[in-house]
C-alpha cells in the first residue's frame, strides 16, 4: 500500500498564498538547503496528484523548465482531480517530448475523491505526493486519508490569505516525526497521522 503525502509551503500564520492568490514569498524566503529538501521530498514519489486549477497552471510551464524541480515534475506520472470537468492538455504536436507527455497523459479523476484516493493508495510502490492549491488540499485533508504532511513553514506573516487547515469537521491529531531548520529561516515539519 502506498502512502499519501501532502507537500505544502505555508506562511508563519498558516496561509498557502496571500489574499490575491500569490505565493512569490516562497521564493523570497527559501534558500539552497530548503530547496534541496523540497526537491528530495518531491522526487520520492510514484505519482504526483493535484487539483485541476494547479494542474492547468503547471502543465504549460514545467515541460520547458530547467532547475532542480524540473526532473521530478516532468518524469513522475501525474493525476489531476476535478469536480468541474477537465478537457485535458492539448498535445500540440505528434512529436511530444517525454516531459510534455508526462503532462498530456495525466490520469483524470472526476468521481468521489475519497474513493479514488483509496484505490490509488491500494497500489504498491513509492508514495503519492499531493501538490496543489488551497481548495484541493482542503478537500484532501477532509478525506482523512493523508498519511504524512510535509510542511515548509516560511518566515513570513501574510495577515490574510488562503489557509488549508480550515473547515475540518472534527479535530485530528498528528505526530511530529521530523523537524529541519534551514539557514534562510524556513522550517520543514513532517507529521504523520
Q: 150 vs 44, which has greater pLDDT?
A: 150
157-184 pLDDT per residue, tens = 999 999 999 877 878 899 999 999 999 9
CA–CA distance from 18 to each of 99, 100, 168 (Å)?
30, 30, 21
**Is the pLDDT score of 193 beyond 70?**
yes
**Is the pLDDT score of 150 beyond 70?**
yes
pLDDT of residue 169: 80
Q: Tell me the pTM.
A: 0.90
For residues 140-149, give the mean pLDDT. Answer: 95
C-alpha cell at 67: 532547475
Query: In angstroms, how far is CA 11 from the centroid of its own chain?
Result: 15
For residues 138-155, give the mean pLDDT. Answer: 95
d(CA 113, CA 81): 8
Contacts 24+ apart (CB under 8 A), 31-37: 31/182, 31/183, 31/184, 31/186, 33/182, 33/183, 33/184, 34/152, 34/182, 34/184, 34/186, 34/188, 35/68, 36/68, 37/152, 37/180, 37/182, 37/188
Which are the contacts of 148, defined by CB distance < 8 A and separation ≥ 6? 3, 4, 5, 6, 127, 177, 190, 191, 192, 193
pLDDT of residue 30: 85
d(CA 119, CA 86): 20
86-142 pLDDT per residue, tens = 666 665 556 777 888 888 888 999 999 999 999 999 999 999 999 888 899 999 999
Q: 139 vs 30, which has greater pLDDT?
A: 139
d(CA 145, CA 7): 14
d(CA 178, CA 191): 7
pLDDT of residue 189: 97
On whether the CB atoms of residues 137 and 53 are closer than 8 A, the answer is no
4-20 pLDDT per residue, tens = 999 999 999 999 999 99
For residues 72-96, give the mean pLDDT. Answer: 78
Amino acid at each position: 500500500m502506498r502512502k499519501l503525502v501532502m507537500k505544502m509551503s505555508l506562511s508563519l500564520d498558516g496561509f498557502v498564498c496571500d489574499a490575491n492568490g500569490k505565493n512569490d514569498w516562497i521564493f523570497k524566503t527559501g534558500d539552497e538547503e530548503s530547496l534541496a529538501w523540497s526537491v528530495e521530498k518531491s522526487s520520492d514519489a510514484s505519482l504526483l496528484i493535484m487539483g485541476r486549477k494547479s494542474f492547468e497552471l503547471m502543465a504549460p510551464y514545467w515541460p520547458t523548465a530547467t532547475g532542480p524541480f524540473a526532473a521530478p515534475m516532468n518524469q513522475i506520472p501525474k493525476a489531476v482531480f476535478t469536480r468541474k470537468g477537465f478537457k485535458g492538455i492539448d498535445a500540440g504536436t505528434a512529436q511530444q517530448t517525454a516531459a510534455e507527455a508526462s503532462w498530456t497523459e495525466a490520469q483524470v479523476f472526476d468521481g468521489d475523491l475519497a474513493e479514488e484516493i483509496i484505490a490509488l493508495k491500494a497500489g504498491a510502490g513509492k508514495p503519492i505526493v499531493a501538490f496543489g492549491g488551497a481548495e484541493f488540499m482542503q478537500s484532501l485533508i477532509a478525506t482523512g486519508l493523508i498519511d504524512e504532511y510535509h510542511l515548509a513553514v516560511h518566515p513570513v506573516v501574510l495577515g490574510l490569505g488562503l489557509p488549508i487547515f480550515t473547515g475540518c469537521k472534527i479535530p485530528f491529531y498528528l505526530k511530529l516525526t521530523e523537524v529541519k531548520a534551514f539557514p534562510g529561516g524556513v522550517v520543514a515539519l513532517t507529521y504523520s497521522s
